[in-house]
Amino acid sequence: MTNETLFFIFGIALAVSAVVTSLIGLRVKSFPGRFMPLVVLWFAVLIGCATTFAVLHGKDEEKEHGAELSKAGKEIEKAESSGPFEAAAKEEAEAEAGEAGESGGSAEGGAGPEATAKGPGGTVQLAANPTQIAYEQSSLTSKPGKVTIDFTNPSSLEHDVAIEGSDGKQIAVSSIIAKGKTSVSANLPAGTYHYYCTIPGHREAGMEGTLVVK
Query: Buried b vs exposed e over 113-131: b needs ≥16 C-beta within 10 Å?
Result: ebbebebebeeeebbbeee
How large a percentage of the chain has pLDDT more than 70? 80
Residue 148 banded pLDDT, cuts 50, 70, 90: very high
d(CA 123, CA 169): 22
**Helix, coil or strand: residue 101:** helix
CA distances, 70 to each of 157, 160, 199 (Å): 6, 13, 9
Kindly list the domain boundaries of the chain, sorted by start residue: 3-81, 86-213
Report d(CA 89, CA 138) in Å as an integer.
29
The single-letter code of the amino acid at 38 is L
Rounded Cα–Cα distance for residues 20 and 55 (Å):
27
pTM, rounded to two decimals = 0.48
Fold of the 86-213 domain: Immunoglobulin-like (2.60.40)
Q: What mean pLDDT is predicted for residues 129-151? A: 96
Answer positive or negative: Cα dihedral of 120, 123, 124, 128: positive
Is the per-residue pLDDT at 114 higher than 60? no
The amino acid present at 214, given as its one-letter code, is K
Residue 139 has pLDDT above 70, yes or no: yes
pLDDT tens digits for range 154-204: 999 999 999 999 999 999 999 999 999 999 999 999 999 999 999 999 999
